[in-house]
Structure 1
Amino acid sequence: MFGIGFTELVVIFVVALLVLGPKRLPEVAKTLGKFYREIKSTVDEVKSAVVEDTTKALPKEEDIIPKDLTEEKKDEWEKEFEKEIKKEEYRPKREKISFKNKSKEEKLNDAGNKES
Protein backbone atom coordinates (compact mmCIF):
# COMPACT_ATOMS: atom_id res chain seq x y z
CA MET A 1 0.00 0.00 0.00
CA PHE A 2 1.79 3.12 -1.28
CA GLY A 3 5.15 1.52 -0.54
CA ILE A 4 4.58 1.90 3.21
CA GLY A 5 5.45 -1.02 5.45
CA PHE A 6 3.70 -2.17 8.61
CA THR A 7 6.11 -0.38 10.95
CA GLU A 8 5.62 2.93 9.13
CA LEU A 9 1.85 2.55 9.43
CA VAL A 10 2.17 1.93 13.18
CA VAL A 11 4.36 5.04 13.58
CA ILE A 12 1.88 7.14 11.59
CA PHE A 13 -1.00 5.81 13.71
CA VAL A 14 0.83 6.58 16.99
CA VAL A 15 1.71 10.12 15.85
CA ALA A 16 -1.89 10.69 14.73
CA LEU A 17 -3.15 9.40 18.07
CA LEU A 18 -0.82 11.75 19.96
CA VAL A 19 -1.64 14.78 17.80
CA LEU A 20 -5.41 14.28 17.44
CA GLY A 21 -6.23 12.46 20.63
CA PRO A 22 -8.50 9.45 21.09
CA LYS A 23 -11.73 11.46 20.68
CA ARG A 24 -10.97 13.15 17.35
CA LEU A 25 -9.05 10.28 15.71
CA PRO A 26 -12.17 8.29 14.63
CA GLU A 27 -13.77 11.45 13.19
CA VAL A 28 -10.66 12.31 11.21
CA ALA A 29 -10.29 8.71 9.98
CA LYS A 30 -13.92 8.73 8.81
CA THR A 31 -13.41 12.04 7.00
CA LEU A 32 -10.21 10.78 5.36
CA GLY A 33 -12.02 7.60 4.26
CA LYS A 34 -14.78 9.64 2.61
CA PHE A 35 -12.21 11.88 0.94
CA TYR A 36 -10.27 8.86 -0.37
CA ARG A 37 -13.47 7.29 -1.70
CA GLU A 38 -14.44 10.51 -3.52
CA ILE A 39 -10.98 10.88 -5.04
CA LYS A 40 -10.98 7.26 -6.18
CA SER A 41 -14.42 7.55 -7.79
CA THR A 42 -13.39 10.77 -9.56
CA VAL A 43 -10.24 9.13 -10.92
CA ASP A 44 -12.27 6.14 -12.12
CA GLU A 45 -14.75 8.47 -13.86
CA VAL A 46 -11.94 10.33 -15.61
CA LYS A 47 -10.32 7.06 -16.72
CA SER A 48 -13.58 5.73 -18.14
CA ALA A 49 -14.27 9.04 -19.90
CA VAL A 50 -10.82 9.02 -21.51
CA VAL A 51 -11.22 5.42 -22.66
CA GLU A 52 -14.69 6.13 -24.01
CA ASP A 53 -13.57 9.24 -25.90
CA THR A 54 -10.57 7.41 -27.31
CA THR A 55 -12.64 4.51 -28.57
CA LYS A 56 -15.14 6.91 -30.14
CA ALA A 57 -12.36 8.80 -31.91
CA LEU A 58 -10.84 5.68 -33.47
CA PRO A 59 -12.12 4.88 -36.94
CA LYS A 60 -14.02 1.64 -37.31
CA GLU A 61 -12.65 -1.13 -39.50
CA GLU A 62 -15.60 -0.80 -41.89
CA ASP A 63 -14.71 2.86 -42.48
CA ILE A 64 -11.07 2.11 -43.24
CA ILE A 65 -11.45 -0.73 -45.73
CA PRO A 66 -13.44 0.06 -48.87
CA LYS A 67 -16.48 -2.18 -49.33
CA ASP A 68 -16.22 -2.67 -53.08
CA LEU A 69 -12.83 -4.40 -53.09
CA THR A 70 -12.21 -7.17 -55.53
CA GLU A 71 -9.54 -9.73 -54.71
CA GLU A 72 -7.02 -8.01 -57.01
CA LYS A 73 -7.65 -4.60 -55.51
CA LYS A 74 -7.55 -6.08 -52.04
CA ASP A 75 -4.13 -7.63 -52.73
CA GLU A 76 -2.84 -4.33 -54.13
CA TRP A 77 -4.21 -2.46 -51.15
CA GLU A 78 -2.57 -4.86 -48.69
CA LYS A 79 0.77 -4.58 -50.51
CA GLU A 80 0.60 -0.78 -50.37
CA PHE A 81 -0.28 -0.97 -46.69
CA GLU A 82 2.70 -3.23 -45.99
CA LYS A 83 5.00 -0.87 -47.91
CA GLU A 84 3.84 2.05 -45.77
CA ILE A 85 4.44 0.07 -42.61
CA LYS A 86 7.96 -0.83 -43.75
CA LYS A 87 8.68 2.83 -44.51
CA GLU A 88 7.78 3.79 -40.96
CA GLU A 89 10.12 1.24 -39.41
CA TYR A 90 13.40 3.00 -38.81
CA ARG A 91 16.51 0.98 -38.44
CA PRO A 92 19.73 2.91 -38.00
CA LYS A 93 22.63 1.77 -40.10
CA ARG A 94 25.45 0.27 -38.12
CA GLU A 95 28.99 1.37 -38.67
CA LYS A 96 31.71 -1.20 -38.78
CA ILE A 97 34.23 -0.66 -36.05
CA SER A 98 37.54 -2.41 -36.05
CA PHE A 99 39.81 -2.72 -33.08
CA LYS A 100 43.02 -3.39 -34.92
CA ASN A 101 46.23 -2.24 -33.33
CA LYS A 102 47.74 0.63 -35.23
CA SER A 103 51.36 0.63 -36.11
CA LYS A 104 53.66 3.24 -34.60
CA GLU A 105 53.76 5.14 -37.89
CA GLU A 106 49.94 5.39 -38.08
CA LYS A 107 49.79 6.61 -34.48
CA LEU A 108 52.37 9.29 -35.21
CA ASN A 109 50.48 10.35 -38.35
CA ASP A 110 47.20 10.56 -36.42
CA ALA A 111 48.86 12.60 -33.65
CA GLY A 112 50.43 14.93 -36.22
CA ASN A 113 47.08 15.45 -37.97
CA LYS A 114 45.32 16.31 -34.71
CA GLU A 115 47.86 18.98 -33.80
CA SER A 116 47.48 20.76 -37.15
Structure 2
Amino acid sequence: MLGIGFDKLLVMAGIAVILIGPTRLPGYAEKLGQFVRNLRRFADDARDKVREEVGSDVFDEIDWKKLDPRQYDPRRIIADALLSDDDDAAEPEKVVGIPAVATKPAPAALAAGALPPFDAEAT
Protein backbone atom coordinates (compact mmCIF):
# COMPACT_ATOMS: atom_id res chain seq x y z
CA MET A 1 0.00 0.00 0.00
CA LEU A 2 2.37 2.72 -1.26
CA GLY A 3 5.06 1.63 1.20
CA ILE A 4 3.03 2.83 4.19
CA GLY A 5 2.83 0.35 7.00
CA PHE A 6 0.56 0.36 10.02
CA ASP A 7 3.17 2.05 12.19
CA LYS A 8 3.62 4.93 9.74
CA LEU A 9 -0.14 5.29 9.39
CA LEU A 10 -0.47 5.46 13.18
CA VAL A 11 2.20 8.19 13.40
CA MET A 12 0.46 10.19 10.64
CA ALA A 13 -2.86 9.87 12.49
CA GLY A 14 -1.22 11.11 15.69
CA ILE A 15 0.27 14.12 13.89
CA ALA A 16 -3.14 14.83 12.30
CA VAL A 17 -4.82 14.79 15.73
CA ILE A 18 -2.25 17.25 17.04
CA LEU A 19 -2.38 19.60 14.01
CA ILE A 20 -6.13 19.53 13.42
CA GLY A 21 -7.16 19.46 17.04
CA PRO A 22 -9.86 17.50 18.78
CA THR A 23 -12.61 19.99 17.96
CA ARG A 24 -12.25 19.84 14.16
CA LEU A 25 -11.21 16.17 13.93
CA PRO A 26 -14.76 14.71 13.68
CA GLY A 27 -15.57 17.00 10.73
CA TYR A 28 -12.42 15.99 8.88
CA ALA A 29 -13.07 12.30 9.65
CA GLU A 30 -16.54 12.68 8.16
CA LYS A 31 -15.09 14.32 5.04
CA LEU A 32 -12.55 11.50 4.71
CA GLY A 33 -15.36 8.94 5.00
CA GLN A 34 -17.35 10.73 2.28
CA PHE A 35 -14.28 10.81 0.04
CA VAL A 36 -13.71 7.06 0.46
CA ARG A 37 -17.41 6.32 -0.25
CA ASN A 38 -17.34 8.53 -3.37
CA LEU A 39 -14.13 6.87 -4.57
CA ARG A 40 -15.63 3.41 -4.06
CA ARG A 41 -18.84 4.45 -5.87
CA PHE A 42 -16.77 5.83 -8.76
CA ALA A 43 -14.84 2.55 -9.07
CA ASP A 44 -18.06 0.50 -8.96
CA ASP A 45 -19.69 2.71 -11.61
CA ALA A 46 -16.61 2.41 -13.86
CA ARG A 47 -16.63 -1.38 -13.49
CA ASP A 48 -20.34 -1.55 -14.28
CA LYS A 49 -19.88 0.69 -17.34
CA VAL A 50 -17.05 -1.52 -18.65
CA ARG A 51 -19.16 -4.63 -18.01
CA GLU A 52 -22.06 -3.02 -19.90
CA GLU A 53 -19.88 -1.90 -22.85
CA VAL A 54 -17.92 -5.14 -23.23
CA GLY A 55 -20.69 -7.53 -22.26
CA SER A 56 -21.03 -9.32 -18.97
CA ASP A 57 -20.12 -12.74 -20.40
CA VAL A 58 -16.83 -11.44 -21.84
CA PHE A 59 -16.09 -9.33 -18.76
CA ASP A 60 -16.44 -12.31 -16.44
CA GLU A 61 -14.13 -14.46 -18.61
CA ILE A 62 -11.22 -12.00 -18.48
CA ASP A 63 -8.45 -13.05 -16.10
CA TRP A 64 -7.70 -9.65 -14.54
CA LYS A 65 -4.78 -10.96 -12.46
CA LYS A 66 -3.02 -11.98 -15.67
CA LEU A 67 -3.18 -8.35 -16.87
CA ASP A 68 -1.54 -6.99 -13.71
CA PRO A 69 1.66 -5.18 -14.81
CA ARG A 70 3.37 -5.94 -11.51
CA GLN A 71 3.76 -9.59 -12.52
CA TYR A 72 6.02 -8.72 -15.47
CA ASP A 73 9.50 -8.84 -13.98
CA PRO A 74 12.02 -8.43 -16.83
CA ARG A 75 14.58 -10.61 -15.04
CA ARG A 76 12.08 -13.46 -14.74
CA ILE A 77 10.97 -13.13 -18.37
CA ILE A 78 14.58 -13.26 -19.63
CA ALA A 79 15.44 -16.18 -17.33
CA ASP A 80 12.38 -18.10 -18.54
CA ALA A 81 13.31 -17.43 -22.16
CA LEU A 82 16.92 -18.53 -21.67
CA LEU A 83 16.13 -21.61 -19.62
CA SER A 84 13.18 -22.86 -21.67
CA ASP A 85 13.55 -25.99 -23.78
CA ASP A 86 13.44 -25.04 -27.45
CA ASP A 87 11.77 -28.18 -28.81
CA ASP A 88 9.65 -26.00 -31.09
CA ALA A 89 12.72 -24.25 -32.53
CA ALA A 90 13.16 -26.94 -35.18
CA GLU A 91 9.82 -26.06 -36.76
CA PRO A 92 9.16 -22.48 -37.84
CA GLU A 93 6.10 -20.93 -36.27
CA LYS A 94 3.14 -20.54 -38.55
CA VAL A 95 1.65 -17.07 -38.53
CA VAL A 96 -1.78 -16.64 -40.03
CA GLY A 97 -1.48 -15.21 -43.53
CA ILE A 98 2.31 -15.47 -43.67
CA PRO A 99 3.87 -18.60 -45.20
CA ALA A 100 6.68 -20.32 -43.33
CA VAL A 101 10.15 -19.50 -44.66
CA ALA A 102 11.97 -22.49 -46.10
CA THR A 103 15.52 -22.78 -44.84
CA LYS A 104 18.39 -24.03 -46.99
CA PRO A 105 20.23 -27.12 -45.86
CA ALA A 106 23.77 -26.56 -44.64
CA PRO A 107 26.32 -26.69 -47.46
CA ALA A 108 28.42 -29.83 -47.74
CA ALA A 109 32.08 -29.57 -46.85
CA LEU A 110 34.42 -29.10 -49.82
CA ALA A 111 36.90 -31.78 -50.70
CA ALA A 112 40.57 -30.95 -50.37
CA GLY A 113 41.69 -28.76 -53.30
CA ALA A 114 38.13 -28.17 -54.62
CA LEU A 115 37.07 -24.63 -55.51
CA PRO A 116 33.97 -23.12 -53.90
CA PRO A 117 30.99 -22.41 -56.16
CA PHE A 118 31.12 -19.07 -58.00
CA ASP A 119 28.08 -16.99 -58.88
CA ALA A 120 28.85 -14.35 -61.55
CA GLU A 121 25.54 -12.54 -60.94
CA ALA A 122 26.13 -12.12 -57.22
CA THR A 123 29.21 -9.97 -57.60
Bigger Rg over Cα = 1
Higher helix share: 1
TM-score (norm 2): 0.43
What TM-score comes out, normalization by structure 1 length? Answer: 0.45
